[in-house]
Structure formats: C-alpha cells, structure tokens
C-alpha cells in the first residue's frame, strides 16, 4: 500500500520539531538525539496503525517445506514485526489459514506430515537507514508531537500542550483513516481450525507448525 503514504523526511521532521518549540539552534539536544527519538515514535505509530489497518505495512513471503512433520519451523523474515495471516496452499492455488495456538499449549502428541507450501503475511518493521517516514497523509503529527514534548522536557518546559494534542490527534486520525481507507482484512489467527494443517505458534525467530 505504498501509494497511500506520505514521505516526511527525517531532516524536515527535525526542523519542524525545533521550529515549533523555539529550539532552532540550541546545543542541549543534538540532531542525532532528535533523530533517535523520532525513530522511536515512528515505530510506535506504525505499530498503532497496523493494529486496525493490518495491511498498511504488510508484506508476504512463501516457503516450501518438504519432508516436514509436526514441529517443523518456518523462519520469520529479518524485518518481521507481527503476523497478520499464516496460510497453507491446499489444494494448489488455494490458501487455507492456520490458527494460532496458545504457546502454553504448544506441544502435541500427534505427529503428522506438514509438508507443503506456506505463505506468511506479516507487518514489516521499517528498515534501518531510512530517510523518510512513510505514514498516511495527515499522520505526521502523531510522530512530531511526542518529540516536541520530549524536547520541552529536556529544557524543563511544559510539555502538556503537545501531549494533549497527540491524544486528540489519535482519535481524529483513527476516524479519518477508517473513512478514507475502509475496513481492512482482519487476521483470522483465532478462527476455525482447518484440517489437516491446523495450528502454529511463534517461538523465537520461527513459526512452529503442528
């Protein structure tokens, strides 16, 4: 969904924070520190957006498992953040969803063949070294306002205006995005089990199939 996002550069975000707080030329907070704080807020905003718009930052990968039995693993991609759907191809060209099983009930006495083609749809983390924040148009202040509050606090100034504005923006933007982009597909991780390949759970860098 790259066509739905704006591109606010990191450099412009730093300028916006400094100008809005009248700290354009101070040396107490460096550009590197601002960049790190902007990065933290950007990642928080992406996770928040992906909760109710899971396809916004979603991508897919497939893997063919051969000679696999219960307990076989599907490696998570290096930029994996959160699973949206995990599916098995059966029959050819048709993708059947697997249900996420509670990790406390991960083990199973039943051993079966789980060979086949699997497709993982997942929310991707932003890659390191990016120069722009890809958020839907109008969401830029969700990143900027907390950082403005942060720089205020570093200078022993009142951050409450920026924190209050951030809370109000979250309500307004969620309603706007729901109207603008409509309902997105929900994960069916807790849905009906499909036989014979019914369940999986997350363990470290892998998805474990049962």
Give the CA count within 13 Å in the CB-facing half-sphere of 14.
18
Distance of alpha carbon 74 from alpha carbon 209, whole angstroms:
8
What are the pLDDT digits (tens) for 120-152?
A: 999 999 988 899 998 988 899 999 999 999 999
Please indicate, yes or no, whether residues 100 and 134 belong to a single structural domain of this protein.
Answer: no
Please indicate, yes or no, whether residues 37 and 106 belong to a single structural domain of this protein.
Answer: no
Name the residue range of residue 109's domain. 60-126+185-209
Please indicate, yes or no, whether residues 84 and 109 belong to a single structural domain of this protein.
Answer: yes
Q: What's the domain count of the chain?
A: 2
Q: Residues in the chain with pLDDT < 70?
A: 1-6, 103-109, 182-197
* Packing angle, helices 10-21 and 140-154, rounded to 10: 50
pLDDT at 15: 93
pLDDT at 180: 79
Distance of alpha carbon 17 from alpha carbon 149, whole angstroms:
9
Cis peptide before 91 (omega within 30 of 0): yes
Please indicate, yes or no, whether residues 108 and 200 belong to a single structural domain of this protein.
Answer: yes
Please indicate, yes or no, whether residues 82 and 166 belong to a single structural domain of this protein.
Answer: no
Q: Which letter does DSSP use for residue 68 in this model?
A: -
Length of the chain: 210
pLDDT at 206: 95
Please indicate, yes or no, whether residues 173 and 196 belong to a single structural domain of this protein.
Answer: no
pTM of this structure = 0.81
């Amino acid at each position: 969904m790259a066509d739905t996002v704006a591109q606010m550069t990191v450099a412009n975000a730093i300028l916006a924070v400094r100008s809005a707080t009248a700290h354009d030329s101070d040396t107490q907070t460096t550009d590197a520190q601002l960049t790190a704080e902007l990065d933290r807020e950007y990642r928080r905003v992406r996770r928040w957006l992906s909760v109710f718009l899971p396809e916004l930052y979603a991508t897919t990968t497939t893997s063919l498992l051969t000679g696999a039995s219960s307990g076989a693993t599907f490696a998570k991609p290096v930029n994996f953040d959160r699973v949206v759907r995990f599916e098995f191809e059966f029959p050819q060209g048709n993708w059947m969803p697997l249900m996420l099983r509670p990790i406390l009930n991960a083990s199973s006495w039943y051993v079966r063949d789980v060979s086949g083609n699997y497709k993982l749809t997942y929310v991707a983390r932003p890659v390191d070294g990016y120069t722009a924040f890809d958020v839907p148009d109008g969401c830029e202040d969700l990143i900027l306002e907390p950082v403005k509050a942060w720089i205020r606090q570093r200078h022993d100034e009142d951050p409450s205006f920026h924190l209050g504005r951030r809370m109000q923006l979250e309500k307004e933007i969620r309603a706007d995005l729901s109207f603008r982009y409509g309902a997105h597909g929900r994960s069916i991780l807790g849905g009906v089990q499909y036989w014979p390949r019914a369940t999986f759970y997350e363990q470290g860098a892998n998805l474990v199939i049962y």
